[in-house]
Structure 1
Amino acid sequence: MTFAPAPIPSRTQYVLEAIKHAILTAQLRPGQALVETELAAQFGVSKTPVREALKTLAGTGLVVMSQYKGVTVRLVDATMAREVYDVRLLLEPEALRRSVNRKASLEAAQEALERADSALDKADRSLANRDFHRALYLPCGNPLLARMLDEVRDQAALVSTVAWSAVPSWEREAAEHREILRLALADDAEAAAGALHHHIASFVRRAFPDDEDGGGAA
């Protein structure tokens, strides 16, 4: 039996994934300008796939396109962080509760947790943590719910990248991940959902605390 070779990713997809990875691993910083000609030269492509990739990234909320400033990596502030994490608080614990109640396999979450624990740098750790959370909600049985969480996934990762740069609290988050997975594997849907809710809420409170003086958080 012969198998057809896997399709080669398009130039646009290649550029898209490269820029996204650079943003989510802090190689490209919030507010940094993304110049089409420079990116095209860097990736050895024409400006067209770069332009299309940037449009897609604007749609996911990772970059901002302005008539006057051009394209920049999205800035993260307390308001943006709380909006994104509010959506996660509303949807993600419920999705995990459904995943557990459906007796869905959480093997992918276990694998992602192990990758995070053995990560050599914060970039690999961040990507593994993203995979961990997705592995909890993806088998919830409601594709629309999973897609809604996927839509804020990149923005949530950008928030955590910025937060970790200021307060490197990944060891605490890793311990919370292990407890969430332990409860889920024990088929305790309510406790697992509650632990996940606390995990998400406490992270954004630590990273972007309320500023009673009105100065805001960066």
Structure 2
Amino acid sequence: MHIKTQARAAVPPSLADQVYTHVKNELFDLALLPGDAFAEADIVAVTGVSRTPVRQALQRLAREGFVQVTSRSGWRVRPFDFERFEQLYDLRIVLELAAVARLCKQPELVQSPAIEALLQAWGVAPHQRLPVGRDAALLDEAFHCTLVEATGNMEMAAVHRDVTEKISIVRRLDFTKQARIDSTYDEHGAILQAILKRREAEACSMLKAHIEVSKAEVRKITIHNLHTTRASYSSRSI
């Protein structure tokens, strides 16, 4: 017996989903800084969406740890919690080391268009490297997420994406100097080559050292850093 199935049409995002994405982008692009206060009416004015879906989006962001409610219609971006960031970095290290170990043990996993794209992106000549700014930070996030996704363990990849989002602000502060971007290109390239050559210990050692550098920057963050970084991004403020 054959049962015919119909492909479901893509469901467009709800108004609450659209607001959720908008506010999250404002957070990641530092248009809204940790500790900044804002009202639901501010979001309504910018997005043109009514208060109910705005509140639904903000409640979702609150559950995920990005914002906090301060009054009936008042909100603020969650202030920096250095201990929390360090714990998230520790979790990130565990996940990525497990991913790299698996890729080294199963070389067939790296024979994919995604890994090939990483090799091309991070193997460019020095004059082709991205400058300071949002694009370099996003390319870095894509590198690490792709390594985890390449293992084929989608549950691990989902947890890793969640961690990546929660530390996104810190990660982007790591790309405000060209020297740091250049070293990232060199380190990513070396990590990829070690994986391709199945040098697990070497790849894991380099990856851990690479992430530890970013982790060490967490305690150096100040509001001045955030305002300086925001100037390099081309996002609009609420």
Taking structure 2 as the reference length, the TM-score comes to 0.73
Which residue, 88, 91, 103 being the options, matches 2:92?
88
Residue equivalent to 2:109:
104
Q: Which gives a bigger RCO, structure 1 or 2 (Cα 8 Å, sep 6+)? A: 2
Check the 8 A contact 1:62/1:74 in 2, yes or no: yes
1:11 pairs with 2:15: yes
Check the 8 A contact 1:89/1:200 in 2, yes or no: yes
Stretch deviating more after TM superposition (182-191 or 11-20): 182-191
- Alignment identity in percent? 27
Residue equivalent to 2:4:
none
> How many positions carry a matched residue from both structures?
210
Deviation per CA, 1:136-167: give whole Å up to 9, x if none. Answer: 01132433322222221111212212454599
Residue equivalent to 2:159:
148
Residue equivalent to 1:212:
none
Q: Report the aligned-residue RMSD.
A: 3.1
1:65 pairs with 2:59: no
Check the 8 A contact 1:183/1:189 in 2, yes or no: yes
Distance 1:39 1:83, change over 3 A: same
Deviation per CA, 1:86-129: give whole Å up to 9, x if none. Answer: 11122221122213323314533553572896546612222222
Taking structure 1 as the reference length, the TM-score comes to 0.79
The secondary structure found in structure 2 opposite 1:61 is coil
Check the 8 A contact 2:16/2:54 in 1, yes or no: yes
Residue equivalent to 1:180:
191
1:42 pairs with 2:46: yes
The secondary structure found in structure 2 opposite 1:104 is helix
Distance 1:86 1:27, change over 3 A: same
Residue equivalent to 1:214:
none
The secondary structure found in structure 1 opposite 2:167 is helix
Residue identity opposite 1:35 in structure 2: A
Residue equivalent to 2:225:
none
The secondary structure found in structure 2 opposite 1:30 is coil
CA distance in 2, matches of 1:5, 1:200: 40
CA distance in 1, matches of 2:131, 2:41: 33
Say which one has the larger Rg. 2
Correspondences of 1:103-122 after superposition (within 5 Å): 103-105=108-110, 107-111=113-117, 114=121, 119=130, 122=133
Residue equivalent to 1:20:
24
CA distance in 1, matches of 2:29, 2:158: 23
Check the 8 A contact 2:85/2:218 in 1, yes or no: no
Deviation per CA, 1:182-204: give whole Å up to 9, x if none. Answer: 22233333322221111111221
CA distance in 1, matches of 2:179, 2:27: 17
Unmatched tracts of structure 1, length 5 or more: 210-216
Residue identity opposite 2:136 in structure 1: R
